[in-house]
Amino acid sequence: MNPIFLTRPAVVALAAALLMTSAAHAGRSCEQRPLTPQTLTQGMALAQQTAQALDAEFARSGARVVVLGRAGQDLSKYQLRYSHLGWAYKTDAGPWRVLHKLNACGTGVGALYRQGLGEFFLDDLWRHEAVWSVPAPPLQAPLLALLTDPVRSLRLHERAYNMVSYAWSTRYQQSNQWALETMAMAAEPGVTTRAQAQAWLGFKGYQPSTLRLGAMTRLGASASSAHIRFDDHPSAKRFSDRIETVTVDSVLDWLERTGLGGPAQRLAP
């Protein structure tokens, strides 16, 4: 798969491409497994039903942008249900698309991808379930304008990828962190840097999730995975096993709590 701007309209071409290309993932394991007919059927069914649900939301409220999440990994031991989110949007000219950040497996590098719902849900999910939140009406137009702008949508993107990057640092950036900081830039016209986006999020009361990771777990992860680092976390928190990072669950909770978005809506075919 190639980053910005990715398009593959045919299901057959999509399946072939996913089997043949190098892996780019977020919120799931980098273990390579063949795409089975069952995985293809389940992923496309989830994509189709999600599109229908989002079309119904558009018809009801006029919303063209939603925060869309998926469950690529089992994170239940951290009390988390979802692993990865992106921005789904709809223009006048076409179907729902998703802009999100993915990590090139085996590396510490991330890139932005523009995909269809089918591609978004064909990433060998842990659980075939979609979740989304509709941003408040005043955020709809600014978000749509930003997401469809090939230059502005890249402005807060940081290539240095860290799956557990510290929520209040700009050294690295994980997928959910890019999505959240980009929302801050859309919501506040004065935000042009990651530091400013994080300041706005803190002012608005965003609270990252705290993962409890012991020293041996951190050491093993850092030694074996290029996309996992802990050196951006404050020493006091890191040495007390508190890793604060941006998660889908924390973003959904914050959106509803602040009124910046609606309650989480779930779809599990």
- pLDDT number for residue 231: 93
Tell me the pLDDT tens digit for each residue of 59-99. Answer: 999 999 999 999 999 999 989 999 999 999 999 978 999 99
- Domain ranges (residues) in the chain: 11-267
Sequence-ordered alpha helix ranges (H) in the chain: 11-20, 37-61, 117-120, 137-147, 175-187, 194-203, 215-224, 235-238, 248-258
Quote the pLDDT of residue 35: 73
Q: Which of 206, 181, 179, 207 is nearest to 195 (CA)?
A: 181
The per-residue pLDDT for 191 is 98
Which residue stretches of the chain have pLDDT < 70? Answer: 1-34, 214-225
DSSP string for 165-226: --TT-SS---HHHHHHHHHHHHH-TT--SHHHHHHHHHHTT---EEEE--HHHHHHHHHH-T
pLDDT at residue 16, as a whole number: 33
Q: What is the pLDDT of residue 204?
A: 98
* Amino acid 223: pLDDT: 52
pLDDT of residue 20: 32
Residue position matching structure tokens 């557990």: 164
pLDDT value for 221: 59
Q: Looking at residue 151, what is its pLDDT? A: 97
Q: In the prediction, which pLDDT does 46 show?
A: 96
Give the pLDDT confidence score for residue 32 in this predicted structure: 60
